Amino acid sequence: MLATYKKTGIRFAFLAMLTGMAITDLQAAEVSAVDAGYKLRAGDIVNVSVWQEPGLEQLVLVRPDGGISFPLAGDLKAEGLTVDELGKSLKSKLTRYIPDPVVTVTLQEIPGNRVYVVGRVNKPGDFPIISRDLTVMQAISIAGGLSPFAKEKKIRILRQIDGKEQSFPFDYKQAIRGEGLSQNIRLQPGDVVVVP
């Protein structure tokens, strides 16, 4: 029996190791796919490294004003840039001090890429936008669905556009019947779904 347990334990450990490797590879693939076209936002964290310059490797936070600070490069704009564009910008700044620097920028975390679901849902909170196509219905689902006393016809989506608050109506009852699907809009980072 002990021998069987040891064999089973080894099998579980081996499977866990394989599963962990697969998950790690999947996460790396997701981050690299996001890296390609993702535009940086305030709150995102990038890893910046300069080849053969050990003192120039660090995690950098995109500040609320959209900028970053990096040794020798100083302050520069990061919000709205891809990681490749940020790398080129850093390279041009560092060229004054390092001949032909090789700069690598990788996306580490995207906490700035979130939507918020508040009010009468089962799990209100903020949620990361993993897909570019996150809709209102999907966000409500991620938040555990509507609570029994939610006013299904009076849901609103709040969005900042050029510094002004915009409000879009959403009728859940209509959407679950397959009607008025144009109101099931794609959410953008910072959107708030309000369920009264």
The predicted-structure confidence for 129-184, as pLDDT tens digits, reads as follows: 877 788 999 999 999 999 999 999 999 999 988 888 999 999 999 999 889 889 99
Residues 63-120 have pLDDT tens digits of 989 999 999 999 999 998 999 999 999 999 999 999 999 999 998 888 778 899 999 9
**Sequence spans of domains, the chain:** 1-37, 45-109, 114-195
**140 CB-contact burial (10 Å; exposed 0-12 / middle 13-18 / buried 19+):** buried
- Which CA distances in Å does 4 have to 8, 12, 15? 6, 12, 16
Give me the sign of the Cα torsion angle 86, 87, 92, 95.
positive
Which residues is 74 bridged to in the sheet?
70
Q: In Å, what is the CA distance from 28 to each residue of 94, 153, 175?
A: 28, 40, 35
Cα–Cα distances in Å, from 152 out to 77, 118, 140, 173?
42, 13, 11, 6
- Provide the token pair at 45: 């964290």
- Tokens encoding 23: 């998950």
Superfamily for 45-109? wza like domain (3.30.1950.10)
Contact 172, 146 (CB under 8 A): yes
pTM above 0.75, yes or no: no
Residue 157's H or E segment, with its range, is strand 155-161
114-195 architecture in CATH?
Answer: Roll (3.10)
